[in-house]
């Protein structure tokens, strides 16, 4: 169908609309803000190398153990993701039922205690716990009550 009649009359030329960006300043400012805000993580981190946290298991207590016994109460992979759950369960268990022992998945009975079991080996809170907690910005409230062993050690050495 030929375009013989439109809203402007018979064979009338359609009005041409200027091809341009209206309100260019406002649009540019808006798009700029959008790009800067949403691109911030890339703009600020581009090309940088971020050290990966290396929780240290090099403590005197662990060194003393025989090679075979150098393992946590549960497999390391599981502990990485679920240690907070384990500590929480231990707290519930000890406080509510008075049962102070926990049977590991390997069938070993261990003392269910942060201060008196975990931190017997992991005496280095700042080199172990804090490494990952700081990296992912987790602030566990363990230390509201529990004293990190290394402080005691430092105190004792200071005396």
117 scored as a contact of another protein (CB under 8 A): no
What DSSP state is assigned to residue 20? Answer: S
Candidates 51, 44, 55; CA nearest to 133 is 55
Q: Interface residues for another protein in 73-102 (CB under 8 A)?
A: 77, 80-82, 84-85, 87-88
Residue 97 to residue 83: CA distance in whole angstroms: 21
Out of 139, 156, 158, 159, which residue is the one contacting another protein (CB under 8 A)? 139
Task: Give, as ranges, the residues between 40 and 59 that touch another protein (CB under 8 A).
Answer: 41-42, 44-50, 52-53
CB of 64 to another protein, least distance (A): 27
Binder among 6, 27, 64, 106 for another protein (CB under 8 A): 27
Cβ partners under 8 Å of residue 57, min gap 6: 70, 121, 122, 128
Residue from 36, 65, 138, 153 touching another protein (CB under 8 A): that is: 138
Q: What is the DSSP string of 49-83?
A: --PPP------HHHHHS-GGG---SS-HHHHHHHH
Which positions touch another protein (CB under 8 A)? 8, 15-24, 27, 30-31, 34-35, 38-39, 41-42, 44-50, 52-53, 77, 80-82, 84-85, 87-88, 132, 134-139, 141
């Amino acid at each position: 169908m030929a375009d013989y009649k439109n809203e402007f009359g018979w064979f009338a030329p359609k009005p041409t609309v200027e091809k341009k960006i209206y309100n260019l300043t406002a649009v540019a400012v808006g798009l700029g803000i959008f790009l800067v805000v949403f691109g911030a993580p890339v703009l600020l981190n581009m090309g940088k190398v971020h050290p990966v946290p290396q929780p240290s298991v090099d403590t005197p207590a662990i060194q003393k153990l025989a090679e075979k016994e150098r393992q946590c109460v549960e497999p390391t992979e599981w502990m990485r993701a679920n240690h907070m759950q384990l500590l929480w369960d231990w707290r519930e268990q000890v406080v509510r039922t008075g049962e102070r022992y926990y049977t590991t998945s390997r069938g070993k009975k261990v003392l269910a205690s942060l201060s008196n079991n975990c931190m017997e080996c992991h005496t280095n809170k700042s080199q172990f716990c804090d490494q990952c907690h700081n990296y992912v910005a987790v602030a566990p409230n363990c230390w509201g009550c529990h004293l990190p062993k290394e402080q005691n050690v430092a105190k004792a050495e200071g005396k």
